Amino acid sequence: MKNNLLKKVLSIAVCLSLIGMVGCSGDTNVDPDSDSASNSQNVSSDTEQTEATQTTTTTTTTTTEKSDESSSSSSEKSTSSTSKTTDPNAKKYIALTFDDGPYSPVTNRILDTLEKHGAKATFFVVGDRVAQYATSLKRASDLGCEIGSHTYSHKNLNRLSVSEMSNEMSKSVDAISRVTGKGVAIMRPPEGAANDTVKNNVGFPLIMWSVDSLDWKNRNMQMNYNNVVDDVFDGSIILMHDLYPATADAVERIVPDLIAKGYVFVTVSELMRIRGVALESGVKYSSAKP
Ligand code: NI
């Protein structure tokens, strides 16, 4: 008996260390982002880690701010009639969002999946990547996907002057509009960073998220899939990045599986319209529940 127990303990230990190794090797994978010079690889990775680390804080902040707003002002930012939830025929709407692209090898695979299933998503693109991957961006826009700004060069806006921030925003909007022929209505701040100065001057609604795939960290199809499918809810905004092949792998399963569960994939602006939320500049939004 003791021998058997010892064997079991040993095999669990081996499994755990294997899982650890896989996780580590995943983290050291070279970023496929062709824009990044090799010397910026670690910086980019660190930035993303900061972004994800802040997720919890950001979400909490958003909730707090919303309750402050609803108690101090008469305008409702996110709530609407709760009677809809009792309607068994009411559809469930979600917004899949992708940051940090475009990156054609991954963006196109995601678009293939969306097109196949008649689903739409929102891409928060980095302006200085747009010219290189213009074809993918145009395709996304033509398919009815929404294109939002993720600034021009992925800067943390909290660290910029107001004029530097305005420059980041206007350059990114110009780059997007030149390709899509459409305006830009929403933005997502890099690292989720948006202090009061940013909110007061950015000039766009700030779209945060309520479901985090952690795809930048996991680089693993099954983990990405579970993080989304386990946490999704009606009105959620889901955060992913169209830089990693494992993200496209997960999207191939997430989209049909959630459609089968009654979810409809819409853009962020569509989700807000459906839920009667009027987007306002400088206000953070992380979901739009019924
Ligand atoms: Ni980003």
Give pLDDT tens digits for 237-275: 999 999 999 999 999 999 999 999 999 999 999 999 999
pLDDT at 132 (0 to 100): 98
Give, in order, the Cα–Cα distances in Å from 102 to each of 113, 127, 285: 16, 9, 23
How does the average pLDDT of the chain come out, rounded? 80
Q: Which residues surround ligand 1, an ion (CB under 5 A)?
A: 99-100, 190
Residue scoring higher pLDDT (156 or 26) = 156
Q: State the distance from the centre of ligand 1 to the C-alpha of 93, rounded, in angstroms.
A: 24
pLDDT at 253 (0 to 100): 98
Catalytic residue IDs: 99, 241
Question: pLDDT for 154-169, tens place per residue?
Answer: 999 999 999 999 999 9
Q: Rounded to two decimals, what is the model's pTM?
A: 0.74
Q: State the distance from the centre of ligand 1 to the C-alpha of 140, rounded, in angstroms.
A: 18
Q: State the distance from the centre of ligand 1 to the C-alpha of 197, rounded, in angstroms.
A: 20
Q: State the distance from the centre of ligand 1 to the C-alpha of 150, rounded, in angstroms.
A: 7
Burial 170-187 (b: 16+ CB within 10 A, else e): ebbbebbeebbeeebbbb
β-pairing, 206-207 vs 146-149, is unpaired
pLDDT at 88 (0 to 100): 65
